[in-house]
Amino acid sequence: MVRQWRAELLGNGVSVTMAAKADRLLRAVLMTAAEDDRIIARNPCRIRGADAEHAEERPVLSVTRVFELAQRIGKRPVGSIRGLKKGEGYRVRFWRNGEMRTHPEVFATRAEAERALWRVPETGHADFSQDRRFRAFVLLDTFASLRWGEITALTRSDIDLKVGTVRIKAAYTERSTGEMVLGPPKSKAGRRKYPRRSFRHSPNTWRSTSRTRPVRWPSLEPRAASCGGVASTGHRRGRKQSGPSVSEPGLS
């Protein structure tokens, strides 16, 4: 019965890691029932190796690649997409050296036109704007090793430019409904301070933010950005992207 239960878990798309966690929990429950409570004669959860996890090591970016990502993320082309009459396609227009230019190609779909518009700044043939808060976000998250919920919960008062520290005192957690809830860190050890080297590259971001409100990180979801919301961990897992300029160099 236990083997059938595990096989059904894996057959329904449950990962090996989650199946191993479930196996350990079931084994502990049945062990109590068998040895302490004497409800059953013996523990039937005895599949060898079923509780073992063999997670692959996560890739780690080099420091050079981190700074490349911080430099490229947040770039947006200065341009627009216009639909032609009678459904004949889409034109891409963009600014270059202060003048409006038109892409020579006509694109069949709006998606193709958007991809072309995002590629133009990468070739240096168009002007672009850049939200520098993304740079501060990437560098701080990398060099301070913050959890997603911790960095999104930072307020200006948590950052001391004179002493040079970043204080972690709260964190956001995401519920199954997608709601972001603010609360204390996971443990007492989660309340900590980091040295200034974690954010020395973008000091203007901190000086321009009020002391009590959350740091105004850029949200990858337009609705959240418009209402000052908090980006969920789903963005970090890749449900959203800030544009092809992030993924093209292999930094996604």
Domain boundary assignment for the chain: 1-56, 75-130, 133-241
Tokens of 175: 């519920």
| pLDDT of res. 90 | 92
The residue type at 9: L
| pLDDT of res. 52 | 84
| pLDDT of res. 228 | 46
Higher pLDDT, 203 or 181: 181
Higher pLDDT, 223 or 145: 145
60 by Cβ neighbours in 10 Å (0-12 / 13-18 / 19+) ranks as exposed
Predicted confidence (pLDDT) per residue in 130-185, tens digit:
777 788 888 888 888 888 888 888 887 887 777 778 888 888 888 878 788 888 88
Cα–Cα distance for residue pair 89/108, rounded to 1 Å: 5
| Pair 45, 26: CB distance under 8 Å | yes
pLDDT, mean of residues 26-37: 89
Give the side-chain half-sphere CA count within 13 A for 73: 22
| pLDDT of res. 198 | 52
Q: Percent of the chain scored above 70 by pLDDT?
A: 77
Any idea what DSSP says for residue 15? Answer: -
| pLDDT of res. 197 | 56
